[in-house]
Amino acid sequence: MRLASVLPVLIALQAPASLGAQRPSIVQIAASRHILVLLSDGTVAALGENPRGQLGRPKTAPLRFLPTGRVELPGKVVQVAVGDEDASYALLEDGTVWAWGAGVSRNLGVPLDGVGERHTPGQVPGLNNVIRIVARKAAVMAVLRDGSVRAWGEVPPLFTGGVRQFPGVATPVPIAGLANIADIAGGVDAGYALTRDGQVYAWGPNLKGEIGTGTTSDAVVPPTLVPGVSGVVSIAMSFGAAVAVARDGRVWSWGSNEQGGLGLGTDADNGVPAQPTPAPLPILSDAVEVKAGTWGRQFIVRRRNGTLIGWGNSDWGQLGAGISGNFQLKATPIKLPDVEAYWLGGNFAFARTKDGGIWFWGGAAGARPLLGARGNQRVPARVPLEKLVP
């Protein structure tokens, strides 16, 4: 045998297996107590706690953090979402929604009488042409291609004809008063909808001016246009505070300031308890998007220069600026350049930089298995990709 014919075989035998199997990149991360990772090949990985089968595997003991593994789904996934009640959701490119994990108030889109959970994904019946899903508590909202919105799970009487549906709504119902919608922040009990032309609708309680109309009341308000805010490209909410980013880079906030969510440098115990009228934050004029933590109660804004800046609750270091204590009341930069995408979980956050690196900061429950840290991670630290990508 000639040397020329032997060399390729020798090289193949000596080459590391990893050279021929490059990992797909990370497109999106959704997290609460467990983590879903959407990959560039349209597959989904899951890791974290799994007491109700929300990782798409047989359930395990609470507080046990499982390593990453693939979730078996019937098609290419374009978005993932997680609920605060140990449930997982995937939006497929064909416009269908699949759900698994804890079945609370029929939030999986089907009755699970006597079972209470599902460990493998199942399709939400009667739902097609979906372009966006948002999960909050035990309910889910879906934006359809025509701009209408559907909801299921623990849907309040406001959207069920004044009658509470117990134990919950299994078949997705249309949300009256919302049309031409592009995105949703919050949930069906209290939230905000961004229209395709940059307006914002609000609904739910208005005790702290969450509706943004300049008044407060103890009434539960149906979808109402927020006046004075236009050209919006991104919205977020947490703990009764709302934040909107306009096309010109300005950031507006309104609602409750109990957790310092208005970004004014004060909280309810020292200054502004509520702000029922939207007002711009004077320190920000170059924002691109805003996101909020769920029970972490924090806001983080991405700026045009690829940096992040945040404010709100900082109990677990979830704002990434190295600050200890209950609150980070002033918007403070995070020392991480070249951020092209970021995602906020329960009490932690992830970011992807232009070099493809994934960074983590926040609560010890995530910092320990992902980074080997002993406590809360208060500044960004790079995560080994094998921790997230199978």
Whether the per-residue pLDDT at 175 is higher than 90: the answer is yes
Instruction: Give every strand in the sheet of 217-225, ordered side by side.
Output: 181-186, 191-195, 200-206, 217-225
Whether the per-residue pLDDT at 323 is higher than 80: the answer is yes
> Taking the CA atoms of the chain, what radius of gyration do you get in angstroms?
22
Average confidence (pLDDT) over 99-111: 95
Domain boundaries, the chain: 26-189, 231-390
Whether the per-residue pLDDT at 21 is higher than 80: the answer is no
Whether the per-residue pLDDT at 14 is higher than 50: the answer is no
Secondary structure percentages of the chain, helix, strand, coil, to 5: 10, 45, 50
**Residue 301 pLDDT:** 98
Of 230, 272, 268, 271, nearest to 252 by C-alpha is 230
CB 334 within 8 A of CB 309: yes
Determine the 3-state secondary structure of 1 from DSSP: coil
15-29, 224-238, 318-332, 359-373: least confident range: 15-29
Q: Which residues of 122-135 are buried (b: 16+ CB within 10 A; e: fewer)?
A: eebeebeebbbbbb
- Which residue intervals of 178-261 are DSSP H helices? none
| Helix, strand counts (H, E) of the chain | 2, 28
Whether the per-residue pLDDT at 17 is higher than 70: the answer is no
Full 3-state SS string of 285-306: CCEEEEEECCCCCEEEEEECCC
Whether the per-residue pLDDT at 337 is higher than 50: the answer is yes
What is d(CA 141, CA 321) in angstroms, rounded to the nearest whole number? 32
Cα separation values, 49 from 31, 321, 342, Å? 11, 26, 22
Average confidence (pLDDT) over 145-163: 97
Neighbours of 176 (CB within 10 A): 13
**Contacts within 8 Å (CB) and 24+ apart, 169-172:** 169/106, 170/106, 170/109, 170/110, 170/111, 171/109, 171/125, 171/126, 172/109, 172/124, 172/126, 172/127, 172/142
Whether the per-residue pLDDT at 13 is higher than 80: the answer is no
Q: Hey, which residues does 274 pair with through a beta bridge?
A: 256
Whether the per-residue pLDDT at 90 is higher than 80: the answer is yes
Phi-psi region of 356 (alpha: psi -120 to 50; beta: other; left: phi over 0): left
Of 135, 155, 133, 158, nearest to 143 by C-alpha is 133
**Tokens 């009228």 appear where?**
277
Tokens found for residue 95: 């416009």
Domain 26-189 and domain 231-390 have a common topology: yes
Tokens found for residue 5: 């014919």
What is d(CA 232, CA 124) in angstroms, rounded to the nearest whole number? 31
Q: Residue 145: which residues within 8 A CB-CB, separation 6 or more? A: 95, 129, 130, 131
pLDDT tens digits for 204-213? 999 999 999 9
What is d(CA 46, CA 193) in angstroms, rounded to the nearest whole number? 28
Whether the per-residue pLDDT at 7 is higher than 60: the answer is no
45-49, 61-65, 110-114: least confident range: 110-114
* Domain covering 26-189: architecture: 7 Propeller (2.130)
Q: Residue 116: which residues within 8 A CB-CB, separation 6 or more? A: 52, 102, 103
Longest dimension (CA), the chain: 88
pLDDT tens digits for 242-269? 999 999 999 999 999 988 999 998 877 6
Tell me phi and psi for residue 108, to 5 degrees: -90, 0
pLDDT tens digits for 221-236? 999 999 999 999 999 9
Whether the per-residue pLDDT at 15 is higher than 70: the answer is no
Of 244, 234, 210, nearest to 224 by C-alpha is 210
Average confidence (pLDDT) over 290-315: 94
Whether the per-residue pLDDT at 219 is higher than 70: the answer is yes
Q: For residue 167, is the peptide bond before it cis, meaning its omega torsion is within 30 degrees of 0?
A: yes
What is d(CA 193, CA 12) in angstroms, rounded to the nearest whole number? 55
Tell me phi and psi for residue 200, to 5 degrees: -125, 130
What is d(CA 319, CA 99) in angstroms, rounded to the nearest whole number? 30
Q: Is 231-390 a CATH 3.40.640.10 domain?
A: no
CB 35 within 8 A of CB 29: yes
